Amino acid sequence: MATGVRLDLDGRPIKPMTICMIGAGGFIGSHLCEKLMAETPHKVLALDVYNDKIKHLLEPDSLPWADRIQFHRLNIKNDSRLEGLIKMADLTINLAAICTPADYNTRPLDTIYSNFIDALPVVKYCSENNKRLIHFSTCEVYGKTIGSFLPKDSPLRQDPAYYVLTEDASPCIFGSIEKQRWSYACAKQLIERLIYAEGAENGLEFTIVRPFNWIGPRMDFIPGIDGPSEGVPRVLACFSNNLLRHEPLKLVDGGQSQRTFVYIKDAIEAVLLMIENPARANGQIFNVGNPHNEVTVKQLAEMMTEVYAKVSGEPSLEVPTIDVSSKEFYGEGYDDSDKRIPDMTIINRQLGWNPKTSLWDLLESTLTYQHRTYAEAIKKAMAKSVAS
């Protein structure tokens, strides 16, 4: 717990607040709860269906923050306690979402409901009760870059004006309706527009966060260990799962898509600045990513293979990757965006935030965690399946 008076970016003392965090048991929520407990005096009402990723913050009563975090097991879909918990807090942070691309095609209805319909009451209760809202959206709302529609050999494809994504100027460009991959981005865009409208018409104090591939320990799940065997998590956990099982990494359509990755601990610093500097964060939409950590998915696979060999002490496979088609991997209706590079001007100007961790360092930290947490369990599970 922090001692002494903590000041915001404008030199004003930060008052302790109560935060209602929806989705507190997930990857981002668990890191944010840790940070709030260790470094601030704030209280957290942690709402989620599961609490495995925050158990270490809840269990012993002797923890210095035992009276500052309360877990409420609830599903926001259908729980009458939701409004009361939002009313008890000064600020609500909504992290709840279905956010794994494998689901966008195969469960488009759940995806649209979870990201739009289920978020509506949260926005409504914040607006009606004059409570501040930090809503987590996604970089997917940008869809495809303008550059992706230019001829392959156009020199303009190299011009940042055609691919760098800015919160206040870039259009949101999605594929056709039959490409159900965009069900997620479209639902996320519509809830952003609704929140923005609540701000304009009813004075809702809001901040919208657009994460660009935050990665680190506790991300997603490892299929068959702490998630469904047939589940397909996001790229980092998919590749980790392959590495842990000594299987080649599957490159969808050759792994040519480009992505930027940011370390979860850097990203959480940005979120804390938003929480504690409402005057600078209200009414803003923030890209939170690391434009310097850009790689193709194929390059990511190669780096992860090299880093995992280093942290595990086990040699890499002779053939570390295999190509699969997106149809085979994700099913019918898949589509992708070519590049995702965040413009950092707004967050830099408003909050002075910059990411620090290089891609190599964040992969080393994450894969060390994955190896330590899962290697033994996977060996056992694989031995069991061989025996049976």
Amino acid at 15: K
Query: Cβ–Cβ contacts within 10 Å for residue 363, how many?
Result: 27
- Checking 172-179 for CB contacts under 8 A at 24+ apart, the result is 172/141, 172/142, 172/143, 173/142, 173/143, 173/144, 173/145, 173/146, 173/149, 174/143, 174/144, 175/143, 175/144, 175/335, 178/333, 179/333, 179/334, 179/335
For residue 296, the number of C-alpha atoms closer than 13 Å in the C-beta half-sphere is 10
> CA-CA distance, 20 to 33, in Å (whole number)?
11
Report the alpha-carbon distance of residue 137 to residue 189 in Å, rounded: 8
The separation between the first and the last C-alpha atoms of the chain, rounded to the nearest angstrom, is: 50
Count the Cβ atoms, other than its own, within 10 Å of residue 193: 12
Catalytic residue chosen out of the listed positions 104, 163, 184, 374: 184
- Is 184 among the catalytic positions? yes
13 phi/psi in degrees, rounded to 5 = -60, 140
Distance between CA 237 and CA 243 in Å, rounded? 10
Burial 16-41 (b: 16+ CB within 10 A, else e): ebebbbbbbbbbbbbbbbbbbbeebb
Helix intervals (H) in the chain: 27-39, 55-58, 82-88, 101-106, 108-115, 120-128, 182-202, 235-244, 264-276, 278-281, 297-312, 326-330, 345-351, 359-387
Residues 6 or more apart whose Cβ sits within 8 Å of residue 320: 248, 249, 301, 302, 305
68 φ, ψ to 5°?
-110, 0
Which residues are catalytic, by number? Answer: 184
